[in-house]
């Protein structure tokens, strides 16, 4: 706890720094707290840290751009000259070099600079002037493909202990990878978008204007494919700044791509992969799905839903019913369970990719489908259509999006409710309910029950369709086809980043 407090104090101290000495004092104070008595300053350098597991040359700067290759190289040339002085005295060289600025910091293995120690240079000049007097050396190091440090941003979410851990692992000759958790996944994704991706169709101003939901979905899919399925994402062997993802070429910054994925692992155990995939939903919630009203269903409520369905339709419901999740996302409702005949459909191809990459519900028929883009099921797989037509028992098990064309705080969500089902509901005089996406899902299911007479529903949704005055016409129709069997109600803040002022229901409905 003390270590965590000290790292937070570092960020605060750096914010108040006005000159280079302030930056040096901030970093040295933190290092001294973490490793008391382990820092010295030979040759008037900013510091050398030597303790049991870490040895590092320390260099501090004020307000230079460490993301700029020439600025970065200039500091490394200065560090190189300090290494030379140690070498000439026959001292063991530090295993790492740490460069800290007021806005960024990084660390690299000192081995990355070792070859330059053999260069024929004027090694007698002061390290502080070495960069200005060796411009060609600065340029060479700036272009060295073996020197691509991962730059840490100094902000409120900066965790200096991660840097310390990296310095330790480099010093001990161990691999290093930052663990991905639900707490850092969004920031890591933003870093990927900012530093790695250069493709105009994903990050240009025009891309933002044309289709934000599609852009974010494709960008998240790119991120997770590169992160979790390296066999499907690799740098082009002949084309600079191009990564091949599922056979498609995407423009990236190749150096930043290599640096990024040296920092984060790309191979995971199945259990780790499932946790990471759940975090994919978190990113989408924070961006695209927050816009459309789709939410990731927590495992605790998924398990409870399975239990409630079994209580109403029998313990063998997964074998006796044809189950269709028509708003599947990444199959959160069904993955980890086995079904005799399961259909999984979702609007986004990126979700289909994730489901298949992770091997979820391999027994299922998985397909891309816009459930609200047709009144019937003509564009569905033949086996699913035959299941309806042959009278098999069909159970919809869904958590559809909750978006509405405009909400009470007047945040406009243009066009998300303009669907084929929206037009059908208007034609059928369903009133205000036709603006709500989850109501459109329910209404289409009602139409399917009206035609085939073999449909049941289990659904996560706001409870408004059962109680709100604006849904009265909707209820009058819906209740003619379905009987309420069971339900539960819980606060919406059980879903990530959702306000708790409203409720979420899970309800089960059987055909009449």
User: For residue 102, what pLDDT is reported?
Assistant: 95
Burial of 227 (0-12, 13-18, 19+ CB in 10 A): buried
Mean pLDDT of all residues in 465-489: 95
Q: Is residue 292 over pLDDT 70?
A: no
Q: Is residue 227 over pLDDT 70?
A: yes
**Residue 405 pLDDT grade (very low, low, confident, very high; cuts 50, 70, 90):** very low
**Residue 233 pLDDT grade (very low, low, confident, very high; cuts 50, 70, 90):** confident
Residue 77 parent element (H or E): helix 69-88
User: For residue 287, what pLDDT is reported?
Assistant: 56
- The strand ranges marked E within 101-184 are 104-109, 152-153
User: For residue 42, what pLDDT is reported?
Assistant: 92
Nearest-angstrom CA–CA distance, 207 and 193: 13
Q: Is residue 243 over pLDDT 50?
A: yes
Helices (H) and strands (E) in the chain, counts: 22, 16
Q: Tell which wins on pLDDT, 277 or 253.
A: 253
Nearest-angstrom CA–CA distance, 147 and 150: 10
Nearest-angstrom CA–CA distance, 338 and 361: 7
Q: Using alpha carbons only, what angle is made at residue 413 by residues 407 and 414, rounded to the nearest 5 degrees?
A: 130
- What pTM, to 2 d.p., does this model score? 0.57
Q: Using alpha carbons only, what angle is made at residue 222 by residues 282 and 234, rounded to the nearest 5 degrees?
A: 140
Q: Is residue 354 over pLDDT 80?
A: no
CB 51 within 8 A of CB 95: no
Q: Is residue 41 over pLDDT 60?
A: yes
User: For residue 409, what pLDDT is reported?
Assistant: 35
Residue-wise pLDDT for 79-110, tens only, equals 999 999 999 999 999 999 999 999 999 999 99
Q: Is residue 373 over pLDDT 90?
A: yes
Closest of 499, 489, 471, 495 to residue 409, by C-alpha: 499
CB 82 within 8 A of CB 57: yes
Q: Is residue 291 over pLDDT 50?
A: no
Residue 436 per-residue DSSP state = B
Mean pLDDT of all residues in 179-185: 70
Residue 2 parent element (H or E): helix 2-15
Q: Is residue 267 over pLDDT 80?
A: no
> Which residues pair with residue 98 across a beta bridge?
58, 107
Q: Which of 83-97, 249-263, 362-376 has the lowest mean pLDDT?
A: 249-263
**Residue 412 pLDDT grade (very low, low, confident, very high; cuts 50, 70, 90):** very low
User: For residue 414, what pLDDT is reported?
Assistant: 45
Residue 460 parent element (H or E): strand 455-461
Mean pLDDT of all residues in 212-225: 78
Indicate the SS3 state at residue 243: strand
End-to-end CA distance of the chain: 59
Residue-wise pLDDT for 111-141, tens only, equals 999 999 999 999 999 999 999 999 999 999 9
Q: Tell which wins on pLDDT, 193 or 442.
A: 442
Residue-wise pLDDT for 377-387, tens only, equals 999 999 999 99
Q: Is residue 413 over pLDDT 50?
A: no
Closest of 24, 29, 65, 64 to residue 45, by C-alpha: 24
User: For residue 212, what pLDDT is reported?
Assistant: 61
Question: Residue 359, by phi and psi: left (phi above 0), alpha (psi -120 to 50) or beta?
Answer: left
Averaged pLDDT of the chain: 86
Q: Is residue 411 over pLDDT 50?
A: no
Mean pLDDT of all residues in 365-373: 96
């Amino acid at each position: 706890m003390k270590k965590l407090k000290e790292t937070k104090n570092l960020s605060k101290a750096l914010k108040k720094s006005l000159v280079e000495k302030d930056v040096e004092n901030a970093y040295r104070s933190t290092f001294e707290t973490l490793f008391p008595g382990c820092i010295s300053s030979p040759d008037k350098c900013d510091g050398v840290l030597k303790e049991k597991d870490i040895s590092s040359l320390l260099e501090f700067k004020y307000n230079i751009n460490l993301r700029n290759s020439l600025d970065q190289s200039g500091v490394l040339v200065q560090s190189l000259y300090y290494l030379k002085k140690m070498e000439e005295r026959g001292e063991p060289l530090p295993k790492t070099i740490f460069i800290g600025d007021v806005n960024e910091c990084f660390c690299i293995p000192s081995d990355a600079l070792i070859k330059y120690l053999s260069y024929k240079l004027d090694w007698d000049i002061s390290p502080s002037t070495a960069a200005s007097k060796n411009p060609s050396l600065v340029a060479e190091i700036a272009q060295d493909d073996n020197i691509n440090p991962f730059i840490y941003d100094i902000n409120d979410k900066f965790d200096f202990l991660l840097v310390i851990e990296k310095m330790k692992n480099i010093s001990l000759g161990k691999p290093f990878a930052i663990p991905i958790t639900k707490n850092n996944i969004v920031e890591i994704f933003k870093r990927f978008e900012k530093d790695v991706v250069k493709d105009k169709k994903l990050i240009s101003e025009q891309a933002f204007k044309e289709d934000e939901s599609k852009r974010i979905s494709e960008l998240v899919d790119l991120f997770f494919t590169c992160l979790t399925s390296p066999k499907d994402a690799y740098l082009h062997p002949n084309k600079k700044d191009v990564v091949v993802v599922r056979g498609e070429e995407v423009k990236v910054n190749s150096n930043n791509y290599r640096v990024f994925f040296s920092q984060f692992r790309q191979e995971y155990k199945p259990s780790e992969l499932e946790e990471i995939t759940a975090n994919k939903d978190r990113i989408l919630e924070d961006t695209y799905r927050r816009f459309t009203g789709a939410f990731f269903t927590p495992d605790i409520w998924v398990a409870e839903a399975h239990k409630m369905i079994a209580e109403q339709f029998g313990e063998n419901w997964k074998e006796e019913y044809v189950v269709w999740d028509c708003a599947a996302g990444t199959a959160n409702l069904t993955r980890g369970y086995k079904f005799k005949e399961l259909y999984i459909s979702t609007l986004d191809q990126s979700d289909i990719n994730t489901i298949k990459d992770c091997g979820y519900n391999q027994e299922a028929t998985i397909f891309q489908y816009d459930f609200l883009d047709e009144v019937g099921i003509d564009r569905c797989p033949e086996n699913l259509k035959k299941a309806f037509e042959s009278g098999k028992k069909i159970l919809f098990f869904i958590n559809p999006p909750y978006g509405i064309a405009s909400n009470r705080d007047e945040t406009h969500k243009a066009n998300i409710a303009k669907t084929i089902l929206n037009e059908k509901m208007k034609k059928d005089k369903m009133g205000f309910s036709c603006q709500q996406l989850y109501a459109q899902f329910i209404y289409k299911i009602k139409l399917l029950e009206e035609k085939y007479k073999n449909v049941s529903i289990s659904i996560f949704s706001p409870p408004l369709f059962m109680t709100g005055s604006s849904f009265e016409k909707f209820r009058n129709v819906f209740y003619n086809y379905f009987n309420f069997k069971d339900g539960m109600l819980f606060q919406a803040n059980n879903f990530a980043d959702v306000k708790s002022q409203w409720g979420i229901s899970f309800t089960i409905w059987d055909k009449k």
